[in-house]
A and B are shown apart, each in its own frame.
Chain A
């Protein structure tokens, strides 16, 4: 039988070259979606193959990789992807945001400030911000070419007319370098400001839709809004029940069947780091956490 052997980080060199060239052009044209010939990966399309291909193309022996999903290192898909790279690249992995050189993420941007030695790789399901307003790629490509984003502004305006607010809670469209309207991936709009003037390089990979895009460090990223309806971030208004943070995005945990809830940091590394530094919320954490601090 034909038994497979795998290259470093799984991808063959030709595929890596093709993705690397796409990444370079993406960086040169901030916010523009570069088409690339996405490969079939061992995990399904829609489960992070774009992010995995970007990470696999940039990853080196000396990198330290962090993989998160919904802000947590411990969600099943993050574990699966981290194991994949452990198996195919043997790189060091970490849950600590500051120590990581490459962070692959689904649906969240870490709470802590990223630094210049880092690359943030986003998993993107639908890269085209106009897709649900116009299903045809031929049309949306033309709109981006001409910088014609009227359709998007009309949609946002219609939301305000109907709901009194822009009714987009996540994947909130942004304008990059004052030119391209871009989909930040399904991060909550709370995270949008972190993309602006970020010290790290941000790369976006959509495997099924076959697009790569990028935001270089220190690039302007502005959420779309209107003067009389400025962009606002949503965050549940309470401190984290475990670490007391008042500025992080919170997960809602249903604790019993009578409707009780508690709110804890979505970014598990941020929360655990704060707890290890002595910060506390209204709920004490499990004993093993206190031991780590002591």
Chain B
């Protein structure tokens, strides 16, 4: 006797309970705190803030905890929360030239005004698993010295002064900056929307695309003009106040790539730019973003679009990992109705095939 499947609601409730239980893990082991995540897994928090498009360390840490360490799931949580927030307007553009720099390197010059500052980096570590970090390791205090108030002009500005690099495109003050979270994306997209899309994009996707552009799928001849990490002030101009109000400061990573030079009939050749910006400390992301940004400028720089990293619609339609995982994982949802109709069609075709197979030779000759 057939009993129709029921009880989906109870199954879901029990699944949620089981999830919460497994998320907690062994209850004899202390639970991890948001402060611990924010302090000691800070690069994870930075990534979630960047791809979640929301600067809030505590919320990002909560998302990581709630997502059991699944970073894309954490980004999803942050994005969904962001969508509920009321919007007051846009801040003034942040001035990374006035950043309180903690790390700043350039591969285009041996030395630059303000110096090369290594900062906290994995770059020259030896990737040997260190059992000392397992527990109770107390690191030495870092070396300090008085920070000289040396100016730190941007390398791209130094090149720009001599006309060696294209000027950074100035935005038209009258045209509002595009926001793809508020208008549906349409192609071709201008650079403001492309950069926004890339800033929110999955780091792995951009990394692969950037890598591909270095390996011959398109080519942009990149040099890392500058990568800087530090704190910048954020200011907001409320209409009725009449001046910009400081809201606080945020940590940003900025990468300027210096790329293949280009000229025209009216202008002498100069280097071209690629740009990357992220919340917190995200070098891989900003470097990949700058590589892909430059690739996507193929259209406006009159270059032939041949490689995936240059294909605007391809890159921008598939860069959002929340959308991507939603659709890939939706295959877990029941599809038995459509499968049924495919089964029906297939059975019919197979039957016809079998009949054709067993039919007299004349038919085959006709083919």
Contacts and interface: CB of A to CB of B under 8 A. Distances in A.
Interface of A: 1-2, 4, 6, 10, 12, 35-42, 44-47, 49, 69-71, 74-80, 83, 106-108, 125, 136-138, 163-165, 167, 169-171, 186-190, 208, 210-211, 234-236, 241-242, 249-253, 255, 262, 264, 266, 268, 283-286, 289
B226 to A, nearest CB: 33
- The interface centre, meaning the residue of B56, B59, B333, B338 with most chain A CB atoms within 10 A of its CB, is B333
Interface stretch (B76-84, B147-155, B300-308): B76-84
B31 interface: no
25 contacts: A2-B56, A37-B180, A40-B79, A40-B80, A40-B322, A44-B76, A45-B326, A45-B327, A46-B328, A69-B333, A70-B337, A71-B337, A75-B8, A75-B334, A76-B11, A76-B334, A77-B333, A164-B349, A167-B345, A170-B341, A188-B337, A189-B341, A251-B337, A286-B2, A289-B4
A251 B2 CA distance: 13
Contacts of B183: 37
B341 A45 contact: no
Contacts of B110: none
Given A107-B338, A163-B349, A234 B344 contact: yes
B189 to A, nearest CB: 11
Contact of A79 (B9, B56, B184): B9
A224 B348 CA distance: 20
Contact of A47 (B84, B333, B335): B333
A75 B8 CA distance: 6
A241 B7 CA distance: 21
A12 B12 contact: no
Interface in B25-63: 56, 58-59, 62
B11 A44 contact: no
Interface string B1-15: 111111111011000
Nearest to B181: A37
Interface residues of B, number: 58
B187 A137 contact: yes
B46 to A, nearest CB: 19
A210 B316 CA distance: 14
Nearest to B182: A37
A49 B349 CA distance: 36
A78 B56 CA distance: 33
Contact of A262 (B2, B81, B187, B352): B2
B327 A107 contact: no
Contacts of B325: 44
B363 interface: no
B232 to A, nearest CB: 22
Interface of B: 1-9, 11-12, 56, 58-59, 62, 76, 79-86, 180-188, 313, 317, 322-323, 325-330, 333-338, 340-345, 348-349, 352
B1 A138 contact: no
Contact of B2 (A6, A36, A242, A266): A242
A283 B58 contact: no
Contact of B1 (A12, A171, A187, A286): A286
- The interface centre, meaning the residue of B180, B317, B337, B352 with most chain A CB atoms within 10 A of its CB, is B337
5 tightest Cβ-Cβ pairs between the two chains A and B: A45-B326, A46-B330, A44-B326, A35-B184, A169-B341
Given A40-B83, A79-B12, A268-B4, A236 B59 contact: no
B1 A249 contact: no
B341 A44 contact: no
B327 A4 contact: no
A37 B1 CA distance: 49
Given A12-B84, A35-B186, A169 B330 contact: no
B86 A170 contact: no
A80 B2 contact: no
Contacts of A71: 337
Contacts of B349: 163-165, 167
Given A40-B80, A80-B12, A251 B323 contact: no
B80 A138 contact: no
A76 B327 contact: no
Contacts of B181: 37, 39
Contacts of B4: 242, 264, 268, 285-286, 289
A236 B322 contact: no
A188 B338 contact: yes
B352 A249 contact: no
A47 B325 CA distance: 11
Given A36-B184, A189-B341, A138 B333 contact: no
Given A4-B81, A165-B349, A251-B337, 16 more contacts: A1-B59, A2-B85, A6-B84, A39-B83, A42-B80, A44-B76, A46-B329, A70-B334, A70-B335, A75-B334, A137-B186, A137-B317, A170-B338, A234-B345, A236-B340, A252-B343
A12 B81 CA distance: 12
A239 to B, nearest CB: 14
A190 B188 CA distance: 38
B11 to A, nearest CB: 7
A165 B84 contact: no
Contact of B322 (A45, A125, A170, A241): A45
Contacts of A4: 81, 84
B8 A285 contact: no
A40 to B, nearest CB: 4
B153 to A, nearest CB: 37
A188 B340 contact: yes
Nearest to B187: A138
B144 to A, nearest CB: 33
Given A76-B11, A210-B184, A284 B1 contact: yes
B327 A108 contact: no
A189 B83 CA distance: 36
A68 to B, nearest CB: 11
